[in-house]
Amino acid sequence: MPVLWEIHKVHHSSAELDWLANWRFHVFEIAVYRSLLYAPLGLLGFSGEALFAYGVWNTAMGHFAHTSIEIPVGRLRYIFNSPEMHLWHHVHADAGPINRNFGVTLSVWDWLFGTAYMPGHAPARLGFVGDESYARTWLGQTLQPIRTWLRL
């Protein structure tokens, strides 16, 4: 969705992928995505403890997926995401296929729905089309999606 992509671009503006990139996101993104996840789960009766445990697990897996350390996961790659796989989610359109490897924690959905891509080497470039002119400061990246939305 173009509106959501505008806030997700902040996360994709990192030229290098490391565990800190997992913390690089627009404040609206965390509010929207977590509301869409935790509110229904809470309404379905999941306990606060279960939701907290899920949050801790998801954050740890996000750090793992965004690390720059090469850690082979073997056949577990068909279930859990890995740095080798998630790197291709951040690929620039000039360096490989985009819209791949959406899972942060689980890769099984990408394998099932045909969006998995793992060629065995790292992409030459990360980012998105137009990232060279994207804001670099925290304030600039916070305001950039809002400016774009107003133009839409």
Domain ranges for the chain: 2-151
- Report yes or no: 8 and 51 within 8 Å, Cβ to Cβ: no
The pLDDT, as a whole number, for residue 104 is 82
Angle at which helices 27-43 and 48-66 cross, to 10°: 140
Q: And the tokens for 104?
A: 């942060």
Backbone angles phi, psi at 99, to 5 degrees: 60, 50
The pLDDT, as a whole number, for residue 22 is 86
Euclidean distance between CA atoms 16 and 130, whole angstroms: 16
Euclidean distance between CA atoms 23 and 13, whole angstroms: 12
Query: 111 vs 59, 61, 74, 98, CA distance in Å?
Result: 22, 18, 15, 15
- Report yes or no: 66 and 19 within 8 Å, Cβ to Cβ: yes
Euclidean distance between CA atoms 9 and 116, whole angstroms: 21
Euclidean distance between CA atoms 145 and 127, whole angstroms: 16
- Report yes or no: 29 and 7 within 8 Å, Cβ to Cβ: yes
Q: Mind listing the pLDDT tens digit for each residue in 26-64?
A: 999 989 988 988 999 999 999 999 999 999 999 899 999
Q: Kindly compute the dihedral angle of the four CA atoms of residues 34, 111, 62, 123, in this order, to the nearest 10 degrees.
A: -120
Three-class SS of residue 106? Answer: strand
Residues with pLDDT less than 70, the chain: none
Please tell me the pTM assigned to this model: 0.87
The pLDDT, as a whole number, for residue 20 is 85
The pLDDT, as a whole number, for residue 21 is 87
